[in-house]
Structure 1
Amino acid sequence: MDKKSRDYEVCLCYHTTRGEIEDIIKETGVQDLKTLCETAKVGDKCGGCREDLQMILDDMAAESEN
């Protein structure tokens, strides 16, 4: 599945989708990975999703600049 899809499962440990992460970022205004992991309750088990979580943060920051 495309990593840009809202249905893409970012965190396999907690079954969290990109859409859910995007919504959390929009609702809370979180801008850094550590706070996103704490707020969304992801990225603290195996850590395999952290790179994708950072990519989503970067993508959304770029979108808000446009």
Structure 2
Amino acid sequence: MEDNIICNCMQVSEHEIVDAIKNKGAVNVQDIMDTTSAGTACGSCIDDIETIIKRERQK
């Protein structure tokens, strides 16, 4: 997996979001926001965060 930056404002990578889902119990966008701070500034990455959550649930 590439380490793409998903949240430019907070510099949160896709890897950090996946880690929050797999290892820290994050199950929704609010959990990701609380765990990583992604999506807490401008919010433009929230759709991408939702996509990652859905993808990881399907695994």
TM-score normalised by length of structure 1: 0.80
- Residues in 2 aligned to 1:22 and 1:6: alpha-carbon distance in whole angstroms: 12
Task: State the shift of 1:20 in Å.
Answer: 1.2
Q: Which has the larger radius of gyration?
A: 1
In structure 1, the gaps of 5 or more residues are none
Matches for 1:1-66 after TM superposition, within 5 Å: 5-63=1-59
Aligned residues: 59
**Bigger RCO (CA 8 Å, 6+ sep):** 2
In structure 2, the gaps of 5 or more residues are none
Q: Could you tell me the percent identity over the aligned residues?
A: 27
